[in-house]
Chains A and B, each alone.
Chain A
Amino acid sequence: MTMPDPPTLPSCERPEVRSPTRTRHFRLIATTPDCSRASPRTTPALLLLPILQALAVATVAYAFALSRSLSPQAHILYWCGELCLVVVPVFLILRYRPEQWALGAAVASTGVCSFTIMLTYQPLYLAFGDEFQHSETLRSILLTGHLFAPNSSLPVSSVYPGLEIATAALVQLTHISTYAAEMAIAGAAHVTTLLLVFAILLTLTRNARASAIGAILYTLNPQYQFIDSYFTYTAFGLLFTFSAILCLLVALQSSDQASRVWSLAAAAFTSACVVSHHVSSYICIAFLALIGGCEFAAGRQKGVRASAWAVLPASLVAVLWTAFVAPDVVGYLAPVGRDLISGLLHHVSTTRPPRSMQGSKLPRLRTTASPSSPRADRYLEYAGTGVLLIMYSFSLLTRARSRHRRRTPATSASNGSPYPPGDSALVIASLLFYFLVAVRVALPDGSQLSSRLYAYALLPVAYVLVTTPAHLLVSRPWTDSKPRLASLRAVGAAALAGIVWAGAVAGGWPPSYARLPGPALAAAWERSADPAVMAASQWAASHLKPHLYFVSDQMTAGIFAGLADETAVSAPTARIFLAATMSPQVVMLLRRYDISLIVVNRIIAEQLPADGNYFTDDPFSRYYASPIPMSDLAKFLTWNGGSIVYNNSQVAIIALSPQ
């Protein structure tokens, strides 16, 4: 096995000795020396970056603390801190010319600070609903020592246990708490993923500064700061996907024997990805196959062989895994795909008008659906996406013109291309960005779906961006004699990054109602994980038999299932909770689904649902005009068929009598 040559530094800073096997990679950047006089080589300037970013994190954390005290200044401070986190590195990297190690440190610092912000939001326990789902799988593994135990809140989580296996190993070997292990694994994956993005771009562009800018661009993904930091299987999916891509790109540039080893490493990473996350594994295999296809089209047999060594074993593992271990994933993903296609083809609103419910007393309802997000957030999101779209389209145009100019017999030969192997695949993959924008525009709730896929699409998009506009910004010779212009360029680029980032924060996660921490809200994801629910869950975990069937509202059910190892039943929940009395129909539903516990969170009788719906498959989603009447919940507390075995100021657990 031979490691790839070290990433190439610009000609003015590289050691003189170069590998004879290195091709003329990526002339667009590499042929232009990255040594303009307007950008002094001042690595110490970049050493300020971690300090400034840490201060930005401190600002955001202070905003969180203010928000917990319900101070109105919290939002202003929050936005200032968030913008500094992105604007400052873009400015410093473009204005100065740090060395490669400093750029790598800057990228790592960005990842660490981003994760720390997520940690300061709720540093005591998990906060996001999906995390509790994976926590349930982890607890099952720790409890039983075996994989694939059923998971009631997210059934596919148990058949993609990669993340939980590693976390269980850390817990069992080091004896640290489950929460600490979850955060350690998630944090390591988060920072490493960003470094891998940097490494991939460095492998392709051979320009550390452009790669660092590309890595910062990747962090403009709307889900990067929170969703991708959470303890969910996406964290490992991204980690292994990018590792596999890096290995294959290195394989394409290595000698024959080393190429095979790197291809097998890519296959191993893809296999780990298959065990960890379904969508990531499919995207990973598709991308590796795309690289192989592009190599085939370019007539590079070595690249085809390397891709085949990576793709074929990984595909086999994926097929076997899906067929024998996780056949349910098809049923899990099919509705998402169906809704997506029907939404794109027919522009069907996913917000349906409320259905009538037989035998239930309807709560007060709105005549039209409530908006999914505030208007200001939507405008910011459109602005950010628009700026990114314009920059990306401009980059594609520039590339197309540049390719056309360079298509001479000398450069279009298989081994004389000015573009590195893998370039075409990344450019083709980046076109997914247009699809995601279309999804965002066409579907009423397309924001969440498109922003989840940004985590994969922004890597090739960042590559396309740094190979053209960033190239102009970084190393255009005409700026050599104009230092002020260089500063203006850096300020302009930082401002653009700030707009994109503001749009990503506005349209990303957490949603506006949960952007800052504070007192509990109903159906508000992170803001619903409050002490009352945590206390009830912890009590149930220590006193109740696991895997009892229970019903509750969506947020409480997620937390309760994750922490107390009970099994949430979602199908009849709305009908049971929205019934005015414990009618025979309701009792029959409880019997039919073998419900043992009813977990009542009184907050749903005090507040409207921030997310629009109280329950999974809520018939009145986004049509509630008032909270659920307290009498609808009181029926459980006064019913003779069950007993209150746990009660606090907000949550009551009712155990049903045996049948």
Chain B
Amino acid sequence: MTAVRRRWAVGIPSLTLLVTGLSLAHVLAMVTGLGLLLLVPTCIALAAMPTSYRCVSRPPSLLVAALALSACCGVLVLSGLLTNLVAPLSHTSWVVSTSASSLILQAFALQRWRATPPVAPQPKPASRAPLPLAIAVLLPLLILALVLTKSVSSAHSLENKEAVISVSVVPTRSGAALIQVSCFPCATRSVAVVVSTSHRNQRAIAHLSTNVTTWARAVAVPKGSGVTVTIRRLHSLHALAAARLSPTPLRPGTLASDGQRLTNATN
């Protein structure tokens, strides 16, 4: 048995065992997508094995990887389509289907390996100067990573220049409306203001509540009761400052500064 055949003889069953074990563990643990992630190397191994085995010295690995990746996408699409016939697409169904696909492909790979006749290995090509190769791979990746990071910050700076301050009305079950002042893109840093509703916003809320099931019992504030503003949380000073400058604030709501109570003159 040649060295290459010995390598495959150990490698394929080991890979199969590993993938099977991890897939089963994954199904039990329901954590992240190991089944999917293991499908990729399995397909690559499946596609690469006969070529690597027969033409030992130079497997066209990039091309095999391309075809294997395409095969993975195809397997996902078709298995998703079939899965959807019997069950909704969810984390669990994906775990089961990808693990099953992975196991089937491994069994197929093992069967193909057994059926492939041995071929003597060919001499390895001359060494490829590992240092320049490493530089040629790592340096561009480093440059691209830096470029992407800088692009993100550049795009963020444009966003920050144009930070969007939004004013919106959200009804609550207590009968008041929640007027939110939020900042985009820092959406998590928002100012939440609880305000009773005017007749105008009440109509909007009543209308929305007919459409939004979670807002079903939204509004019960009498008309013309004025607007009471209480700032509940203040996460972002610049959001508050910009909210005052909001070009067309909600009628008749007017936003107050921190802690103040305000009665809207329009009512």
Contact = CB atoms under 8 A, between A and B. Distances in A.
A580 B92 CA distance: 54
A1 B50 contact: yes
Interface in A265-285: 268-269, 271-272, 275-276
A100 B147 CA distance: 29
Contacts of B37: 173-174
Interface in A238-291: 239-240, 242-243, 246, 268-269, 271-272, 275-276
A513 to B, nearest CB: 17
Interface in A518-534: 518-520, 530-532, 534
A119 B148 contact: yes
Nearest to B26: A173
B154 interface: yes
Given A47-B136, A196-B66, A243-B67, A649 B246 contact: yes
A6 B166 contact: no
Contacts of A7: 60, 63
B60 A6 contact: yes
Contact of A5 (B55, B152, B207): B55
Nearest to B62: A104
Contact of B143 (A48, A57, A519, A530): A57
Given A104-B60, A169-B94, A645 B67 contact: no
A517 interface: yes
Interface in B185-236: 185, 187, 200-201, 203-208, 210-213
Nearest to B149: A123
Nearest to A44: B132
A338 to B, nearest CB: 31
Interface in A164-209: 165-166, 168-170, 172-175, 185, 188-189, 192, 195-196, 198-199, 202
Given A54-B139, A123-B151, A170-B33, A657 B90 contact: no
Contacts of B143: 51, 54-55, 57-58
A65 interface: yes
Contacts, number: 292
Contacts of A568: none
Given A124-B159, A531-B184, A649-B246, A243 B74 contact: yes
Contacts of B246: 647-649
A3 interface: yes
A657 B84 contact: no
B151 A120 contact: yes
Contact of A544 (B55, B165, B212): B212
Contacts of B80: 147, 165-166, 168-169
Nearest to B167: A647
A596 interface: yes
Given A51-B139, A165-B89, A645-B208, A147 B84 contact: yes
Contact of B163 (A165, A239, A531): A531
A145 B139 contact: no
Contacts of A532: 162, 164, 184
Interface in B6-65: 32-33, 35-37, 47, 50-51, 54-55, 57-63, 65
Contacts of B102: none
Interface stretch (A109-117, A293-301, A420-428, A487-495): A109-117
B70 A531 contact: no
Interface string A625-644: 00000000000010000111
A323 B96 CA distance: 30
A60 to B, nearest CB: 9
B210 A658 contact: yes
Given A116-B144, A119-B151, A545-B211, A173 B249 contact: no
Contact of A269 (B70, B128, B170, B184): B70
B167 A646 contact: yes
B164 A650 contact: yes
B141 to A, nearest CB: 8
Contacts of A637: 248
A521 to B, nearest CB: 13
A144 interface: yes
Interface stretch (A358-366, A371-379, A388-396, A535-543): A535-543
B78 interface: yes
A192 B69 contact: yes
B interface secondary structure, majority: helix
A600 B155 CA distance: 25
A373 B248 CA distance: 36
Given A268-B78, A272-B73, A195 B90 contact: no
A150 to B, nearest CB: 16
Contacts of B65: 195
Interface string B114-141: 0000000011000011001101110111
A615 interface: no
Given A51-B136, A239-B70, A531-B159, A539 B151 contact: no
Nearest to A57: B147
Given A104-B62, A124-B155, A268-B78, A47 B207 contact: no
B191 to A, nearest CB: 14
Residue with the highest number of chain B CB atoms closer than 10 Å, among A50, A162, A173, A519:
A173
A65 B168 contact: no
Contacts of A646: 166-169
B140 A655 contact: no
A43 interface: yes
A12 B250 CA distance: 78
A interface secondary structure, majority: helix
Interface string A432-467: 000000000000000000000000000000000000
Contacts of B259: none
B155 A195 contact: no
A168 B122 contact: no
Contact of B207 (A174, A269, A657): A657
A127 B178 CA distance: 31
A61 interface: yes
A548 interface: yes
Contact of B94 (A49, A116, A172, A645): A172
Contacts of B95: 173
Contacts of A519: 158, 162
A301 to B, nearest CB: 25
B71 interface: yes
Contacts of B206: 658
A236 interface: yes
Nearest to B163: A531
A44 B130 CA distance: 11
B66 A3 contact: no
A172 B91 contact: yes
Contacts of B47: 3
B135 to A, nearest CB: 7
A271 B88 CA distance: 22
A595 interface: no
A336 to B, nearest CB: 25
A141 interface: yes
A145 B89 contact: yes
B237 interface: no
Given A172-B89, A268-B78, A535 B182 contact: yes
B106 interface: no
Nearest to B133: A47
5 contacts: A44-B132, A104-B62, A120-B148, A173-B35, A646-B166
Given A172-B33, A648-B165, A655-B208, 17 more contacts: A51-B140, A54-B147, A61-B151, A123-B155, A147-B89, A166-B76, A168-B89, A169-B89, A172-B89, A173-B95, A188-B73, A271-B78, A275-B78, A519-B162, A534-B185, A643-B203, A647-B166
Interface of A: 1-7, 15, 17, 43-44, 47-51, 53-55, 57-58, 61, 64-65, 68, 100-101, 104-105, 108-109, 112-113, 116, 119-120, 122-124, 141, 144-147, 162, 165-166, 168-170, 172-175, 185, 188-189, 192, 195-196, 198-199, 202, 236, 239-240, 242-243, 246, 268-269, 271-272, 275-276, 517-520, 530-532, 534-536, 538-539, 543-545, 548, 596, 637, 642-650, 652-653, 655-658
